[in-house]
């Protein structure tokens, strides 16, 4: 297939592009490199530097005639979204709508969309959270990601554009930016290897669903041919506290200091983890990488990167 991967120079998107190339597909990456990095680009994929809001992307769609769009681009920082909600609506909603219009006009068969299971549900009414749980996002990031899911439904109903929505958990692994829109694993790992003070927000008993990025990439590949018109949680089904992540990373990095605790962050849920049984039954997907193995791979990546 000819596949467009948006955000293919970013953390998750680059792993998705790698997996698609390895599966034998022809991949084109669009990324504005605002948070993505050129070294992350797959050498066997074409690359065009562009913003997903750019009307000039029409030329790319007309020339390449994509079969599938795998849409990974988003502003994805919960805390930043509380301060800049209009920016998040602009990039995440209007940018996605620009891509949907181009897909409609140029005969794209399917749209695979990276949503968020960590932010759309808000504070869970029950755990683990399944896809039927009410949507009560507590931050503009989660609200903007969910908004696009409605557009996907109407584009399928009115224009026949197939879609699969993947609601991601807390994704971690190699290439995650420890300075930008980063997750706690990347931040802690980088600080610990640099022997810098680690600060845990809140009590550290907050729980998240941590899944290794390679497993996330695999879910995208599986969605090319399955899951039309469906929404899937992509998670491990278990919650891991921030304190547990800290303890495991401290052991892996031989970190000599004690962590400190700071105030909790506005807009963040306290505890969320995802029921991914639907993805297992219909896609054949599971979180195959154990947390301890994934954290070890991540630490080794940062250790090599910091030594260069």
Place of tokens 């968020």: 116
Rounded to whole angstroms, the Cα distance separating 205 from 51 reads: 38
The two three-digit tokens of residue 294, written as one number? 């994934």
141, 172, 232, 273: the active-site residue: 141
Q: Is the dihedral of CA 15, 18, 19, 20 positive or negative?
A: positive
The H or E element that residue 91 is part of is none
Q: Is 141 annotated as catalytic?
A: yes
The two three-digit tokens of residue 127, written as one number? 């755990």
Q: Which of 216, 234, 213 is nearest to 279 (CA)?
A: 234
- The C-alpha R_g of the chain, in whole angstroms, comes to 19
Rounded to whole angstroms, the Cα distance separating 237 from 117 reads: 12
Place of tokens 């797959």: 42
The residues that are catalytic are: 141
């Amino acid at each position: 297939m000819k596949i467009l991967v948006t955000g293919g120079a970013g953390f998750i998107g680059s792993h998705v592009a790698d997996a698609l190339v390895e599966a034998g597909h022809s991949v084109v990456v669009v990324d504005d490199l605002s948070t993505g990095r050129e070294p992350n680009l797959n050498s066997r994929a074409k690359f065009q530097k562009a913003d997903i809001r750019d009307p000039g992307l029409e030329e790319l769609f007309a020339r390449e005639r994509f079969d599938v769009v795998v849409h990974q681009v988003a502003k994805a920082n919960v805390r930043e979204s509380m301060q800049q909600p209009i920016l998040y609506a602009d990039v995440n909603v209007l940018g996605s709508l620009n891509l949907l219009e181009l897909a409609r006009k140029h005969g794209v068969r399917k749209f695979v969309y990276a949503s968020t299971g960590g932010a759309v549900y808000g504070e869970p009414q029950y755990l683990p959270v399944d896809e039927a749980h009410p949507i009560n996002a507590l931050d503009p990031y989660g609200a903007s990601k969910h908004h696009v899911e409605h557009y996907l439904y109407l584009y399928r109903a009115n224009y026949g554009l197939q879609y699969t929505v993947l609601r991601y958990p807390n994704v971690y692994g190699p290439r995650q930016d420890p300075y930008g829109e980063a997750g706690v694993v990347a931040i802690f790992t980088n600080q610990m290897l640099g022997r810098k003070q680690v600060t845990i927000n809140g009590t550290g008993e907050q729980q998240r669903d941590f899944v290794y990025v390679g497993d996330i990439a695999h879910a995208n590949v599986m969605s090319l041919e399955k899951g039309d018109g469906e929404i899937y949680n992509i998670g491990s089904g278990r919650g891991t506290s921030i304190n547990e992540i800290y303890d495991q990373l401290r052991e892996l990095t031989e970190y000599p200091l004690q962590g400190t605790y700071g105030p909790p962050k506005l807009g963040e849920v306290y505890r969320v983890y995802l029921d991914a049984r639907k993805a297992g039954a219909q896609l054949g997907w599971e979180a195959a990488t154990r947390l301890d193995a994934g954290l070890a791979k991540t630490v080794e990546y940062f250790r090599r990167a910091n030594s260069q």
